[in-house]
Structures are given as C-alpha cells and as structure tokens.
C-alpha cells in the first residue's frame, strides 16, 4: 500500500496529527508543516506476506505507523511515538475512538531517560558535525592514494610527491614490492634501474584505492622505503563522501541561517537537544509528555544563535545531571509492560476488523 492509497482509504487511519515544530509551539516563519499518524492494515494484508510497518510520502514529512509497529515502539519509549500519542488536541486532525484504549501514562517508564537523552546526544553529534564542516571544509577535488604515501628520508619522512619531485620522477615509472613483516610498507624502485622493460607504477590511476606491486628483477637495490597510510586514506574517503552528500542534501535555508548567526553550529539541533532533555525531566517529575513547549522563548533563543556553543554544552551537562537525579527519585516503572501493549493491540484489531 502506497501513501496515496492510504490517503484514499481514510477508514484505515486511526490517528492523524500535525507534528514537529507546530505541535511543539516552536514554529517560525518558513517552518515546514509535518504530519504523523497511525493506520491499521487491511485484515487480508495482515494475514498475507505484504505487511507494512510504516508509510510515508515522497518528502518523508508525512509518516504513518501501522498500529502494531506503533505499540511496539511505544513499549520502547520511543520519543517520536510518545510525542505523537500526546499531541495537543488542537493539532489532532482525526482520532478514532479505538485510540482511547492507548493511554500515554500506561507506558511511561524510566526507559525515557535513555531514549530521550539518546535522541539529545544524536542532536549534539549533528551540531558538532556541522561545526566541523563549516570550520574545516573539504577541498572539492578528491585526494589521491599518493597523498597518503610517505618516504623515509634523512632520519624522518617526507611526502611521496615531494620525494618524486626532488628526483624528477613520475609515479608511473616507479615500482613497488612488499617489505616483509611490515604492514603497508614497500620498497620503491625506478625504471632507470632496468636494462629493459618497465614497472607498473605506484598506482593504476587517479581513481585507484590502493597501491599496486611490480615484478622486480633480482639484484636491484631499492631507492627508498615507502609507507601507505591506508587507515588515514580510508578515513578520508569516508569523510569526503559524507561531506559531498551533506553539500548535496543540506537544507540551504537552514545552512544560511547557521552562517548568519555566526556560531558555526546547527542551532536547530541544539534547540532540540535542550527540548528533549527538558521533556525527559518532565516525564520523570510529572509523569506526562508535554509536547507543547512553554519554554518556547528560551528554545527559540537557542535557535536564533544567541548562545555560544560552549555555553550550550554547559547547559546540556547541567540538564543531564537534573535528568539523572529526577529519574533516581521517580516512581515510574523500569520498563513498560509489553504484555499490556500486546493485549491492547489484539483488542484493537478484533474490534476494528469485526466492525
């Protein structure tokens, strides 16, 4: 079943809500309007092979969870699921009477400390990542294996490219063999040492991902010892790919907003970090999920870049301690009752399918 097919079978939708910044009371001019909801699979699909746990539109800003998947995630205290179940009434577009069987307070537990704080840590990593991308941008031209090769020289080492330039050599005229008992270390030779024939070169071309070996005649003494920093090259390739994907997919409006406040971190990520931690503490203290944020002014100050990153991290550490203390004193159960969730699921399916 596609998103379009689900929207054409509205009788399958059990809950339809406005979510995201609008539900949080954190929307500003230009904010997207996200939607989340719950649906139930047609009975024949439930018993067949083609089961679906989640359906989304093309832009992924409208997401619907199948009731079984929803209750499963609820027993894991997934923040998105708890927020959906506690959507403020003014943002609930449709709610099936069967949803009254599911009450947030029946599933809140001390597990929220880990799940909400875990989501907060993810937001911090994203903010850190953007900080690195802004302050240490990568050159658009991809580096070669040769940039990660070094030659032993004068009781130290120099880059291979520098060594080649000093002797007016090209890498295509060189040959390598492994140096026994040393990882990624090679003996290096040059074609001038041959009476005839040629070597294969250090790499096969600019797109090579490793060095290549040549057949070396006996009796020839190597000109140098070379190391290929293969681990460094692998890390670089991963970072380069991630950077290119980030440049391609980044939200330019959000990126320009980050540049405009001059703090070099994603302020929206940091806003959600503090929001999640505040919600975690409220769950422990009041045993409810407060989606609509009364701390809107403080959170929007973060989004507007009014704090230095180090100051925000101090706030995060302080709030982490408050969250830890709140859960130590909380009377919440350690985990939700999965048996109760399963009983509710069976009851909802039976009542829905039997009309």
pLDDT per residue over 5-15, tens digit each?
A: 999 999 999 99
pLDDT per residue over 19-36, tens digit each?
A: 999 999 999 887 888 999
Domains and CATH numbers, the chain: 1-107+336-355 (3.30.460), 109-137+251-332 (no CATH), 145-230 (no CATH)
Task: Say if residue 257's pLDDT is above 70.
Answer: no
Tell me the residue length of the chain: 355
228 and 149 Cβ atoms separated by less than 8 Å: yes
Task: Say if residue 54's pLDDT is above 60.
Answer: yes
What is d(CA 70, CA 50) in angstroms, rounded to the nearest whole number?
A: 18
Task: Say if residue 134's pLDDT is above 80.
Answer: no
Q: Worst-scoring range by mean pLDDT, 192-196, 199-203, 208-212, 260-264?
A: 260-264
CA dist 86 → 102, 131, 259, 283, 337 (Å): 11, 33, 35, 12, 19
Q: Which residues pair with 92 in a beta bridge?
A: 17
Strands (E), the chain: 13-19, 34-39, 54-56, 62-66, 92-95, 149-153, 156-159, 174-178, 185-190, 224-228
- Contacts (Cβ under 8 Å, ≥6 apart) of 37: 13, 14, 15, 16, 17, 62, 63, 64, 65, 84
Q: Percentage of the chain surpassing pLDDT 90?
A: 70
pLDDT per residue over 174-191, tens digit each?
A: 999 999 999 999 999 999
63 and 56 Cβ atoms separated by less than 8 Å: yes
For 190, phi and psi rounded to 5 degrees?
Answer: -130, 150
Task: Say if residue 249's pLDDT is above 70.
Answer: no
In the predicted model, what is the mean pLDDT of residues 274-289?
A: 95
**Residue that wins the pLDDT comparison between 162 and 254:** 162
What is d(CA 353, CA 355) in angstroms, rounded to the nearest whole number?
A: 5
Q: 46: pLDDT confidence band, cut at 50, 70 and 90?
A: confident
Average pLDDT over the chain, rounded to whole? 89
Task: Say if residue 266's pLDDT is above 80.
Answer: no
Global pTM exceeds 0.85 = no
């Amino acid at each position: 079943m596609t998103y379009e097919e689900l929207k054409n079978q509205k009788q399958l939708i059990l809950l339809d809500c406005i979510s995201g910044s609008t539900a949080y009371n954190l929307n500003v001019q230009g904010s997207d309007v996200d939607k989340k909801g719950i649906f139930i699979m047609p009975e024949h699909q439930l018993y067949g092979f083609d089961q679906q746990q989640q359906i989304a539109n093309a832009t992924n800003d409208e997401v619907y969870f199948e009731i079984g998947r929803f209750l499963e995630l609820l027993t894991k205290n997934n923040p998105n699921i708890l927020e959906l179940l506690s959507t403020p009434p003014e943002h609930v577009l449709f709610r099936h009477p069967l949803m009254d069987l599911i009450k947030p307070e029946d599933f809140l537990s001390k597990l929220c400390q880990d799940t909400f704080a875990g989501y907060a840590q993810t937001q911090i990593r994203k903010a850190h990542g953007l900080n690195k991308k802004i302050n240490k941008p990568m050159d658009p031209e991809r580096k070669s294996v040769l940039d990660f090769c070094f030659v032993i020289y004068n009781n130290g080492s120099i880059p291979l490219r520098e060594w080649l330039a000093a002797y007016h050599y090209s890498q295509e005229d060189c040959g390598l063999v492994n140096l026994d008992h040393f990882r990624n270390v090679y003996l290096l030779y040059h074609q001038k040492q041959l009476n005839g024939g040629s070597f294969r070169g250090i790499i096969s071309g600019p797109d090579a991902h490793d060095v290549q070996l040549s057949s070396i005649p006996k009796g020839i003494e190597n000109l140098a010892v070379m190391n290929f920093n293969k681990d460094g090259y692998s890390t670089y390739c991963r970072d380069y790919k991630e950077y290119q994907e980030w440049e391609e997919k980044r939200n330019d409006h959000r990126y320009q907003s980050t540049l405009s406040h001059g703090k070099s971190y994603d302020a929206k990520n940091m806003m959600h970090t503090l929001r999640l931690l505040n919600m975690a503490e409220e769950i422990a203290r009041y045993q409810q999920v407060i989606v609509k944020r009364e701390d809107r002014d403080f959170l929007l100050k973060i989004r507007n870049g009014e704090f230095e990153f180090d100051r925000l991290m101090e706030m995060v550490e302080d709030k982490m301690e408050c969250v830890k203390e709140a859960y130590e004193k909380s009377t919440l159960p350690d985990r939700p009752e999965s048996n109760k969730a399963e009983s509710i699921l069976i009851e909802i399916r039976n009542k829905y399918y039997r009309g």
